[in-house]
């Protein structure tokens, strides 16, 4: 059994956009940057649980649509003067498909960056 789950074609997530994947641990937001990097984070902003997948992706950050908190897609850390963190999950693209790490999704652990 592989540790990676095939969740969707890369083309299903728009460049500078996101899609939500429902897991046993809750909703995970899968983001795609302008240069086709993928990142996976919990979909709740650390401030007031705003839906990060509905935010604006810029570079390797996303701006929460509720109160404009900027969250690093690489680390899950709030940027600037804001404090807080969301859980990140390893994600990668292989042969045009987005893969998430099953072990991390099941454990709810964070590795600090996408793989």
Q: Which of 40, 35, 50 is nearest to 90 (CA)?
A: 40
Sequence-distant (≥ 6) Cβ neighbours of residue 72 within 8 angstroms: 60, 61, 78, 79
pLDDT for 112 equals 42
Mean pLDDT over the full length of the chain: 90
Paired tokens of 31: 């983001």
What residue spans define the domains of the chain? Answer: 4-107
Instruction: Name which residue leads in pLDDT, 2 or 50.
Output: 50
pLDDT for 103 equals 79
Q: Report the predicted TM-score, pTM, of the whole model to 2 decimal places.
A: 0.88
In angstroms, rounded to a whole number, what is the distance separating the alpha carbons of residues 93 and 105?
A: 17
Q: Is the pLDDT at 109 greater than 70, yes or no?
A: no
Q: Give per-residue pLDDT as tens, 54-107.
A: 999 999 999 999 999 999 999 999 999 999 999 999 999 999 999 999 877 776
CATH number for 4-107 (one of 3.40.640.10, 1.10.10.10, 2.102.10.10, 1.20.1530.20): it is: 2.102.10.10
pLDDT for 95 equals 96
């Amino acid at each position: 059994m592989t540790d990676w789950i095939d969740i969707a074609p890369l083309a299903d997530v728009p460049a500078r956009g996101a899609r939500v994947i429902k897991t046993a641990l809750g909703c995970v937001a899968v983001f795609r940057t302008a240069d086709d990097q993928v990142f996976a984070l919990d979909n709740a902003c650390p401030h007031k649980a705003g839906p990060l997948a509905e935010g604006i992706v810029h570079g390797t950050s996303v701006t929460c649509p509720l109160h404009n908190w900027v969250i690093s897609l690489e680390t899950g850390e709030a940027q600037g003067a804001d404090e807080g963190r969301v859980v990140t999950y390893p994600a990668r693209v292989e042969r045009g498909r987005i893969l998430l790490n099953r072990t991390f999704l099941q454990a709810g652990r964070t590795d600090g960056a996408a793989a």
